[in-house]
Structure 1
């Protein structure tokens, strides 16, 4: 079944030399495809399936999780740490070991505790501020001689002169004091976003991505987005930093027998009995960046990656996707499943959509809308409608299902994330909406549901 699915998928690539994969093993199980509303549900499902495998004496070394984006290992790593399941990252670093994540954690540690000398040493010159080893040595010396923290030693040192480097140190200290004073007034998520903005750390990563040919640099911004998402699991900064301490302990206590986590690129040449393919959402996989930059060639390369991922499994494959956008502050709220899921042979897969979809009657309501202008129908919605006509179970989703022809100032609308509100004014394809349980926001008309 696995080889037949992989061959069926890759056959969509035109101009490819046809070759049929075969195996002398039995047909095996169908590929399991499951949709979830949140990333947490996805990682809980995968960990539950792994626990079942363990109870059936399956070695951890025969279990692997493959991702298109390395940042998406984070929710699985956190879950495994909480459960005490041993894991390793193949061909890369664990999420909290990655340079940019350690940098942001160091900023947060320093803001939490101004006496944290290790945190200060790590980020006082990141991004570059012209504060080199010689200057750090002087600060260290003042700290030791006066039995004070390096942060206070830096404040003491800049009193002696107004050199360029001292001006930079003064500006750094001023910003840290500002963040330290604000930490009781704003939550830890806003604080982190403010630090990233004030320190120009995101700009620094964007510049790195622009100038570097190292593929790792392309993932750094994704890792930062995932990091901010991870903060939502904690009530405050203290709780998050305690968790990080636990994570770092787990990193130092590794077993040979571990679950393998890796990107699809890192999986080439490896095989496992049980493979979980996570994050099969349109825009994530296939990668929107790849399609935007390379067009059809990029799409075919992504399909080859899907083929590689599928053929890593000897016995069983689970494919998962998440409906809610992994980063809730991006321009749209929801994902549809990857087009590659649609390209798999229907008789060889078992599909289960998210609880949200199965408990929501909007699909039935939408399918009854007549005379809808085809320009409003996205590819995801077209597939959704075609399945309803065939009386097939739906596992595809796009929330922008209502025409904006009803849009007028004063209209009452509903948004999946922000709830009910009233349109204040319309600007092209967007509307300024005053939400009843949120603030006033500018939203694309296609993401609004018009109510009577």
Structure 2
């Protein structure tokens, strides 16, 4: 491919990137604007015109997947020899090459997991830890190292940033742990991943001869996702450059969502100050998403006002698509059921399951969607987190519940589960600590919430809960091939799908309750922006008014939708259709989800009324509320599927083994009476 042909494939802004071959270049690239295309064509154009030697270019990105994609695109453009690597991969390669010359001997063993070292370091200073505490402390060690914060400066740094210390420890204790951890590594003769960058940067600073050799090799640098660089990565980049300005950076400050790991947009936003005369190119033509999706993304950033720095106004290039939807559900189960039903309709209409994603703020939210999709017979895969029933705390909790099922079989279910899980660390109130401790509590709380749901059926005890958990664990072995993606918003960064469901958009979930500073809330808004811009065509937003079926509706939708959404879904069944579709689903409460081929909205009206009358009479007989017998959505599922056997009945979302046992015979009788009535009337 000739140099002119390379440029012919680009739009004017991308072409400006590709032809800016000399000096510092800053590319501000919005989501879906073809940044990878622009920078790979820039490298290829530089090689084709003789400006670059392929082996003199080092392109750095943040994930192995992105580096691999860059290498593939360069190869397709006929360019070989360019190094496209992650920061760690490039640094590890150089460290292995120069270590014998700089230090002598073999490079120390690289430890992939810090847990054992952190536990030993904690023990040396008399700090008691468990598995979760060790995990949170390891994360804090990583933050301090990538932020270039030594132990002696740790207390001042976390105070200045308003950063909470991990695992309930005070700053002085964490500082002591940082020193102890480095001592443990030295004693064992090992290094960690952060050391790879730190040690290489130190060698380049201390050995001018080695630094000169690296700088003779690499004369042109490209850094992707520059808004995510940490102080440590920038420090190494500075050593590579050695005061030169042959650097092209690409980033979007609106997609800075990893500040908790040390990432900062500071270097992107101050690039022109550090590199005077830098050429700045803005990519704003969005080729990924429909105008409806782009409009919502733009309005989300505009609503941030002064809190949004350096945001780009995207310009949609695709034809119009369906309106964006916002649905207010009655509770979390209803939300999972509704999302699964909508996914089922998309799949039946021809959207491949692999082109659909359900996104949420925390991994603990995945369980309801895993169950709903499994019940619906829709394959899924969980990205960026363990499957719910694979988590250690969940496995341990199920074992405890199984052991208690015999001795506490007759105890009230909710009380029994709380007593058992209290021995595993569950508490009535959520812990203030962030990180793994909170994630563990969320997992245990999900089991408590499930027990409360089952306890609505009188006479249900621990044995029934254990049986229900076994059924759910077995059903969640869904095939990972061509499955719907379940992912946290953080794990979705850099990905895209035809259809995206953004769920749990309520205060306390997004922004998460732990976001207490203005900066933290601003980052939560950017998370929403990232989620919105993952969608190519279909985008559905949703939240639940209550956590549990029948619970008090004390949630409100996220503040991030204030001033940008045309109507409130809590008060309008159908809002305006100028790019947005606001819905309130009929009825309250779910079955877990709809069977893949059954839509609750297709309920037979006459059968539905017969079932409602049955529910009213049953609730009156038991002295409870009708919604505690069966949810409205379960009734609609029954009226849509009209089961005729016990097996068919048990598969209706919201029935399950327990309700099938308690109500099965009478429910099948209602369905049979309805069927006979239709037959006798000739309908």
- C-alpha distance 200-328 of structure 1, shift in aligned 2 (>3 A): farther
User: The residue matched to 2:508 in structure 1 has which SS?
Assistant: coil
2:546 pairs with 1:324: yes
Aligned match for 1:224, one of 438, 444, 454: 444
The question of whether the paired residues in 2 share the 8 Å contact of 1:323 and 1:354 is answered with: no
Q: 1:70 & 1:42 partners in 2: Cα distance?
A: 16
- Structure 2 equivalent of residue 196 of structure 1: 421
- Structure 2 equivalent of residue 99 of structure 1: 392
Q: 2:483 & 2:560 partners in 1: Cα distance?
A: 29
The question of whether the paired residues in 1 share the 8 Å contact of 2:374 and 2:478 is answered with: no
The question of whether the paired residues in 1 share the 8 Å contact of 2:301 and 2:311 is answered with: no
- Structure 1 equivalent of residue 404 of structure 2: 111
User: The residue matched to 1:265 in structure 2 has which SS?
Assistant: coil
User: The residue matched to 1:284 in structure 2 has which SS?
Assistant: coil
Q: 1:131-183: per-residue Cα shift (whole Å, max 9, x none)? A: xxxxxxxxxxxxxxxxxxxxxxxxxxxxxxxxxxxxxxxxxxxxxxxxx2x33
Q: 1:397-444: per-residue Cα shift (whole Å, max 9, x none)? A: xxxxxxxxxxxxxxxxxxxx9xxxxxxxxxxxxxxxxxxxxxxxxxxx
Offset at residue 238 of structure 1 (A): 2.7
- Structure 1 equivalent of residue 343 of structure 2: 50
- C-alpha distance 253-30 of structure 1, shift in aligned 2 (>3 A): closer
- C-alpha distance 254-325 of structure 1, shift in aligned 2 (>3 A): closer
User: The residue matched to 1:261 in structure 2 has which SS?
Assistant: strand
Offset at residue 217 of structure 1 (A): 3.3
Q: 1:219 & 1:327 partners in 2: Cα distance?
A: 22
Q: 2:524 & 2:480 partners in 1: Cα distance?
A: 33
User: The residue matched to 2:448 in structure 1 has which SS?
Assistant: helix
Offset at residue 252 of structure 1 (A): 4.3
Deviates more, 1:342-351 or 1:83-92: 342-351
2:295 pairs with 1:4: yes
The question of whether the paired residues in 2 share the 8 Å contact of 1:229 and 1:327 is answered with: no
User: The residue matched to 1:336 in structure 2 has which SS?
Assistant: coil
User: The residue matched to 2:486 in structure 1 has which SS?
Assistant: strand
2:347 pairs with 1:62: no
Q: 1:105-156: per-residue Cα shift (whole Å, max 9, x none)? A: 110111236xxxxxxxxxxxxxxxxxxxxxxxxxxxxxxxxxxxxxxxxxxx
Q: 2:398 & 2:579 partners in 1: Cα distance?
A: 45
- C-alpha distance 337-354 of structure 1, shift in aligned 2 (>3 A): farther
Q: 1:375-418: per-residue Cα shift (whole Å, max 9, x none)? A: xxxxxxxxxxxxxxxxxxxxxxxxxxxxxxxxxxxxxxxxxx9x
- Structure 1 equivalent of residue 320 of structure 2: 27
Q: 2:311 & 2:343 partners in 1: Cα distance?
A: 35
TM-score, normalised with respect to structure 1: 0.57
- Structure 1 equivalent of residue 468 of structure 2: 243
Deviates more, 1:93-102 or 1:77-86: 77-86
Q: Which structure has the greater CA radius of gyration?
A: 2
Count how many residue pairs are aligned between Structure 1 and Structure 2: 280
Offset at residue 232 of structure 1 (A): 3.4
- C-alpha distance 306-343 of structure 1, shift in aligned 2 (>3 A): farther
Q: 1:257 & 1:344 partners in 2: Cα distance?
A: 35
2:383 pairs with 1:90: yes
Cα RMSD after superposing both structures: 2.8
2:485 pairs with 1:256: no
User: The residue matched to 2:421 in structure 1 has which SS?
Assistant: helix
User: The residue matched to 2:316 in structure 1 has which SS?
Assistant: coil
Offset at residue 356 of structure 1 (A): 7.2
User: The residue matched to 2:546 in structure 1 has which SS?
Assistant: coil
Aligned match for 2:500, one of 275, 295, 311: 275
Q: 1:176-222: per-residue Cα shift (whole Å, max 9, x none)? A: xxxx2x331x222211101123x26236x988x84xx8x33331112
Q: 1:284-314: per-residue Cα shift (whole Å, max 9, x none)? A: 2111211x2xx21111111000000100100
Correspondence 1:270-419 to 2 at 5 A: 270-290=495-515, 292=516, 295-326=517-548, 334-346=554-566, 347-353=578-584, 355=586
Q: 2:487 & 2:354 partners in 1: Cα distance?
A: 13
2:409 pairs with 1:183: yes
Q: Runs of 5+ in structure 1 lacking a partner?
A: 114-179, 358-416, 418-452
Q: 1:258 & 1:19 partners in 2: Cα distance?
A: 33
- C-alpha distance 304-93 of structure 1, shift in aligned 2 (>3 A): same
The question of whether the paired residues in 1 share the 8 Å contact of 2:425 and 2:441 is answered with: no
Q: 1:26 & 1:343 partners in 2: Cα distance?
A: 26
Correspondence 1:434-449 to 2 at 5 A: none
Offset at residue 87 of structure 1 (A): 1.1
Q: 1:206 & 1:338 partners in 2: Cα distance?
A: 20
Offset at residue 325 of structure 1 (A): 3.6
- C-alpha distance 303-343 of structure 1, shift in aligned 2 (>3 A): farther
Q: 1:18 & 1:112 partners in 2: Cα distance?
A: 55
Q: 1:348 & 1:253 partners in 2: Cα distance?
A: 35
Q: 1:200 & 1:339 partners in 2: Cα distance?
A: 35
Q: 1:233-292: per-residue Cα shift (whole Å, max 9, x none)? A: 4333333322332333344452411111111111101101011111111122111211x2
Q: 1:192 & 1:86 partners in 2: Cα distance?
A: 30
The question of whether the paired residues in 2 share the 8 Å contact of 1:66 and 1:263 is answered with: yes
Q: 1:254 & 1:296 partners in 2: Cα distance?
A: 42
User: The residue matched to 1:228 in structure 2 has which SS?
Assistant: helix
- C-alpha distance 24-285 of structure 1, shift in aligned 2 (>3 A): same
Q: Runs of 5+ in structure 2 lacking a partner?
A: 1-291, 455-459, 567-577, 589-626, 628-683
- Structure 2 equivalent of residue 411 of structure 1: none
User: The residue matched to 1:298 in structure 2 has which SS?
Assistant: helix
TM-score, normalised with respect to structure 2: 0.38
